[in-house]
Structure 1
Amino acid sequence: MRIFIYFEGSCELFDVSPTQTVRAMKQMLKENFLVQLPDDNHVQYFLELTYGGATLQDSWALCDVGINSGSAIRCLIKSEQNPVIHVFNAVTGETIPVMGSETLLHMSVAGLKTLVSMQCGLPVSAFRLSSLAGVQLYDCNQLQHYGTAVGATLRLDSWDGWVDFLHGCLLGHSLTVQSHLSDEKVVMRFQLRVALYIAAFLGHLDLADWLLERGVHAEEPVGVHPYRQWCHQTAHQDTGKCPIHVAAENNQLLILKLFVTKKPLTLACQDFGGRDPLKITIQHGHRDCVRYLANKMCSVVSLPNISLPMRIYLQMQRWMSLGQKRVSSVKCQYGGDSLKAWVVDMLLVDGFSQSKMSSKCRKADIEPRGGIRAKALQPLPPISNLLSLSHLPFKRTPHQKRHIFQPVNPSDFKEMQKRHKLDRKEERLNKINEGDKRGTSTLPPITMGNLSRPVFVGASPKPSKILTASLKSSHHCGHTPSENAIYCLSIASTFTEKPWFKQLSIARTLIRKCVPSRIPPTWTGPFQISSLSA
């Protein structure tokens, strides 16, 4: 078949095979147009073919995506910047690429932690960076002091026993977060602040609402771990960042509305640079957040006997909060329950004590939380010993019950078996009668062999073959047919210049060609399962 190729303002006609792959097509275009891609270690150049508004993958065949004779394909030279540093996240198992130039190697470790925190969503006080050899990177040093080269891989580790807790925060599951909180009160309060930070970063509205009800404040900085409170002078400057600032940076409008509705004082909360949430949203160009915060700052607060502008009301609230903090500090000084670390608590100093940040899972509790110790099970003797002791006479201790063993005739044993079967039948009949009385009935177990596969009438000349092909491909790649269908529909939806029926035919062709074998293990896709029934 003949197709048209557009490249750098020129259009040429090519005779190609319908089964030719996109990779072979690119090689043919390089030889025909004499394309020479620059060789640069920092920037990668490659050819990209687009058809119908979608980018063609190298493993696809032309007929799989509906390219017929007379179609037009656009060819472009694209460049992709290689990451300067890779950071392996031990919490999620993902690798975070850090983009930039080679001057990134001359920055401090604290600056790198800020970039990593803005990508992964974890506060800087919840993780540390180290090399693959296990050398910890301290904030005050530069990357070049550790011999970090371009393309190097660093490791991100969190506090020991925090992996499951952070997974719950990243997914927004409040029950998981609650079940993995620390037993120490000061550590638990720090974990709650970390959870609200992550919820504000990712926009988990339910988790943020639950944390606010627990007493966590959106205008309160995350701070440092209680084990490092005595060394706060050397703490990272981002430890003073509040969840309200994180929500403003990441354009989380619903989270901002929740914080401001719960406590209007968050509008006047300033970060370490003296910026309030409105200034942060203006600098990042988030129009919806700027519009909402500006309307709030220009609004009027109606009190029972007076109406005040929002700025004056915020100033009054700030004075009241300062007074409350002073009163609470005095109470804690004279016997109150303080939430800060004591002198007898654990103290971690960089370079002098062993680090407690290696992403280890929490150890299993030896004793249950109820306070009752679990009894150790006595090991059973080997079977050979039991057989050798069977001929010995039985001795009964005073604390043991008396067991009498009598011989049983074979006929009596058969009668006992019959009675046991009759009793079981009577129990089944009683259960069925009880279910009928309640209006329920038990159904027999369903096996996959008895089920008939559905047939889509009118979808294609032989729709059953299409379904069989999808089932075979799903069995081959280890995914369910619904996952393969969702993945193929998402690929077909990238052909934005094609009508919906044409995209559906492309998805069917991809299913028949076993293209879904390239589905990543953690891919979910933009489509829902309910969209397949439509």
Structure 2
Amino acid sequence: MRVFVYFDGSCEPFDILPEQTVGAMKQMVKENFLVQLSDDKQVWHYLELSYGGAALQDSWALCDVGITSGSAIRCLIKSERRPVMHVFNAVTGETLPVTGSEALLRMSVARLKTLLSVQSGLPVSTFRLSILTDVQLYDCNQLQDYAIEGGTALRMDTWDGWVEFLHGCLLGHRLTVQSHLSEEKLVMRFQLRVALYIAASLGHLDLAGWLLERGVHAEEPVGVHPYRQWCHQTAHRDAGKCPIHVAAESSQLLILKLFITRSLLNLACQDPGGRDPLKIAIQHGHRDCVRYLANKLCSVVSLPNMSLPMRVYLQMKRWVSLAQKRVASNRCQYTTAPLKARVGDMLLVDGFNQPQMSSKSRKTEPKPRRGIRPKALQHLPPISNLLSVSHLPSKRATPQLPSLQSVNPGVFKETHKRCKQDIKHRDDGALDRKKEEDSIPCRGKFVLPPVTRERLPKPVFVCSSPNASNILTASLESFSQHCGRTPRENAIYCLSLASTFTEKPWSKQLSIARTLVRKHVHSMA
């Protein structure tokens, strides 16, 4: 078939096969138009083919995306900065590139965690950073203290048993979040605050509404894990951020309206830097959020016998809220005895008594005999921040911790030189993956309805065999094992790819998604 390629103001016809891949067509375009791509250590230049408003990936066949004879394809030369380092996210299995100048290698670990929190949507208190030698990076140190150079690969791990919980929060699946809550009350409170933070960052309205009904407050900071026994003064600064702040940063207008409708105190909630949601929205340039928040702050509250400006009303409500929290904290202080560390307990230098942050799946832990069911949560009473750092029950045995080693840059230089050689040849592949991920819409843009747990009657087929359901289950398990994604996740992935063809109608996008699904199945056969 014959297609037309537009490049740099000229149009040329190309006779190609329908089964030809996009990568092979790019090579033809380079030879025909004599395209020379310069290779730079800091900037990467590449060729991009665009059709229907979406960038075509090299592994796609032209017939898979509906390209027919006579179609017009746009060709562009794009450039991207090479990432200074790569960070593997153990929760999602993705590699996050950290782009910028070489000056990023001289920043602090705390600053790097802030950048990764914005990219991943996870609070800084839910993950830790380590290098290939399994040495943990502490917030108070600089990256150069660990001899980290350009191209170094880092790892981002979370608490053991939290992978499924955080993955459900990122996807906005309420039932998944509910079924993976901890049985310990203090840990469960921390998980609920984390879930509301992620929902506010990614715009999961259903999950945020469910958490607000369970008593979680948008003006309450996420804080740190209850495993932390001491050293709270050195906690990351962003641990004091609230869901209302991250909603203003991410320009989630519907989430902001939900939070403020729930409680007007969210308008006056300040982050660790002393900024309210309006100042945060102004600094990030979100006009819709600024307009909504400004109108709210300039409004008047009508009471039965008087009318008060919003700022005066918020100050009065803040005094009442502080008094209620103080009374509640005093009541809890006299009714419950605090759990403290005992003589002989081993603690880490950052105040944690549990080193279990290796991102181990909950499936690897011994399962109880009864299945995990969603918990019927009650409304949570207000609780002070001091209670969120209470200690674990003394019945839980304290594991033996490995001895900590001092940071010596000379010890890691030889190790990084060997690791750098293995990482260098993967930079181009990481950039290709980054380009592929950037072409896909954000995670929260396309959401399938949640899977119901009700046992609905299934249709009966006349010619179906008795073991037909077993064959279907085995096929789905085999697909998940070889593809790395469940059929539901693969459907979301293909639909997200097809939705990038913005110039095509919805029916054509659905046809492209079906073709991509069939291609994945045939590639594994």
* Same topology, TM > 0.5: yes
| Aligned equivalent of 2:40 | 40
Task: Confirm or deny that 1:200 pairs with 2:204.
Answer: no
Query: 2:161, 2:223 → 1: CA distance?
Result: 19
Q: Which moved more, 1:210-219 or 1:103-112?
A: 210-219
CA contact (8 A) 1:186 1:341 kept: no
| Aligned equivalent of 1:385 | none
Query: 1:482, 1:323 → 2: CA distance?
Result: 48
| Aligned equivalent of 1:219 | 219
- 3-state SS of 1:88 partner: strand
Query: 1:491, 1:365 → 2: CA distance?
Result: 36
The 3 A distance-change label for structure 1 pair 491 and 351 is closer
The 3 A distance-change label for structure 1 pair 495 and 368 is closer
Query: 2:113, 2:225 → 1: CA distance?
Result: 16
Task: Confirm or deny that 1:446 pairs with 2:446.
Answer: no
The one-letter code matched in structure 2 to 1:307 is S
CA contact (8 A) 1:197 1:222 kept: yes
| Aligned equivalent of 1:517 | 519
1:79-123, Cα deviation, whole Å (9 max, x unpaired): 133322222222232222222222221111111111111122211
1:244-276, Cα deviation, whole Å (9 max, x unpaired): 111111122222222212211111000011110
The alpha carbon displacement at 1:307 in A equals 1.3
Query: 1:78, 1:520 → 2: CA distance?
Result: 32
Q: Structure 2 matches for 1:134-145, cutoff 5 A?
A: 134-145=134-145
The 3 A distance-change label for structure 1 pair 515 and 38 is farther
The one-letter code matched in structure 1 to 2:463 is T
| Aligned equivalent of 1:404 | none
Task: Confirm or deny that 1:285 pairs with 2:324.
Answer: no
The alpha carbon displacement at 1:59 in A equals 5.0
The alpha carbon displacement at 1:175 in A equals 4.1
Query: 1:302, 1:221 → 2: CA distance?
Result: 30
CA contact (8 A) 2:501 2:509 kept: no
- 3-state SS of 1:228 partner: coil
Query: 1:273, 1:520 → 2: CA distance?
Result: 53
| Aligned equivalent of 2:336 | 337
| Aligned equivalent of 1:433 | none
Query: 2:511, 2:166 → 1: CA distance?
Result: 40
| Aligned equivalent of 1:274 | 274
The 3 A distance-change label for structure 1 pair 332 and 84 is same
The alpha carbon displacement at 1:312 in A equals 0.5
The one-letter code matched in structure 1 to 2:151 is G
CA contact (8 A) 2:89 2:156 kept: yes
Query: 1:442, 1:183 → 2: CA distance?
Result: 34
Query: 2:161, 2:43 → 1: CA distance?
Result: 40
The alpha carbon displacement at 1:137 in A equals 0.8
- 3-state SS of 2:97 partner: strand
CA contact (8 A) 1:348 1:355 kept: no
Query: 2:176, 2:458 → 1: CA distance?
Result: 35
Query: 1:221, 1:238 → 2: CA distance?
Result: 9
Q: TM-score, normalised by structure 1?
A: 0.66
CA contact (8 A) 1:231 1:349 kept: no
| Aligned equivalent of 1:235 | 235
The alpha carbon displacement at 1:310 in A equals 0.7
Query: 1:80, 1:109 → 2: CA distance?
Result: 25
Select the structure with the greater relative contact order (CA < 8 A; seq sep ≥ 6). Answer: 2
Query: 2:51, 2:306 → 1: CA distance?
Result: 65
The one-letter code matched in structure 2 to 1:126 is T
CA contact (8 A) 1:227 1:348 kept: no
Query: 1:111, 1:442 → 2: CA distance?
Result: 53
- 3-state SS of 2:160 partner: coil
Q: Which moved more, 1:233-242 or 1:181-190?
A: 181-190
The one-letter code matched in structure 1 to 2:79 is S
Q: Structure 2 matches for 1:438-517, cutoff 5 A?
A: 445-447=461-463, 511=515, 516-517=518-519
- 3-state SS of 2:144 partner: helix
The alpha carbon displacement at 1:147 in A equals 2.6
Query: 2:458, 2:233 → 1: CA distance?
Result: 69
1:496-515, Cα deviation, whole Å (9 max, x unpaired): 667889x589959x95xx89
- 3-state SS of 2:336 partner: coil
Query: 1:40, 1:107 → 2: CA distance?
Result: 24
- 3-state SS of 2:129 partner: strand
Query: 1:192, 1:51 → 2: CA distance?
Result: 43
Task: Confirm or deny that 1:78 pairs with 2:78.
Answer: yes
The 3 A distance-change label for structure 1 pair 446 and 34 is same
1:461-490, Cα deviation, whole Å (9 max, x unpaired): xxxxxxxxxxxxx9xx98999999999898
The 3 A distance-change label for structure 1 pair 321 and 151 is same
- 3-state SS of 1:75 partner: strand
- 3-state SS of 2:231 partner: helix
CA contact (8 A) 2:169 2:198 kept: yes
CA contact (8 A) 1:86 1:152 kept: yes
The alpha carbon displacement at 1:160 in A equals 2.4
| Aligned equivalent of 2:156 | 156
Query: 1:196, 1:253 → 2: CA distance?
Result: 15
Aligned-residue CA RMSD (Å): 4.2
1:164-212, Cα deviation, whole Å (9 max, x unpaired): 3323333334444344333333323222222221222222333323322
| Aligned equivalent of 2:126 | 126
Query: 1:63, 1:198 → 2: CA distance?
Result: 38
Task: Confirm or deny that 1:253 pairs with 2:253.
Answer: yes
The 3 A distance-change label for structure 1 pair 68 and 482 is farther
- 3-state SS of 2:227 partner: helix
CA contact (8 A) 1:129 1:156 kept: yes
Q: Which moved more, 1:45-54 or 1:116-125?
A: 45-54
The one-letter code matched in structure 2 to 1:183 is E
The 3 A distance-change label for structure 1 pair 444 and 164 is closer
| Aligned equivalent of 1:364 | 366
The alpha carbon displacement at 1:150 in A equals 2.4
The alpha carbon displacement at 1:50 in A equals 3.5
Q: TM-score, normalised by structure 2?
A: 0.67
| Aligned equivalent of 1:99 | 99
The alpha carbon displacement at 1:360 in A equals 2.9
- 3-state SS of 1:80 partner: strand
CA contact (8 A) 2:117 2:124 kept: yes
The 3 A distance-change label for structure 1 pair 493 and 162 is closer
Task: Confirm or deny that 1:68 pairs with 2:69.
Answer: yes
Taking only the aligned residue pairs, the percentage that are identical comes to 68
| Aligned equivalent of 1:190 | 190
1:314-372, Cα deviation, whole Å (9 max, x unpaired): 01111222223333444445x2337x753459774337866222223454377979xxx
Query: 2:265, 2:156 → 1: CA distance?
Result: 35
The one-letter code matched in structure 2 to 1:143 is L
The 3 A distance-change label for structure 1 pair 356 and 291 is same
1:117-139, Cα deviation, whole Å (9 max, x unpaired): 11222111111111232111111
The one-letter code matched in structure 2 to 1:267 is L
- 3-state SS of 2:87 partner: strand
CA contact (8 A) 1:221 1:239 kept: yes
The 3 A distance-change label for structure 1 pair 31 and 448 is same
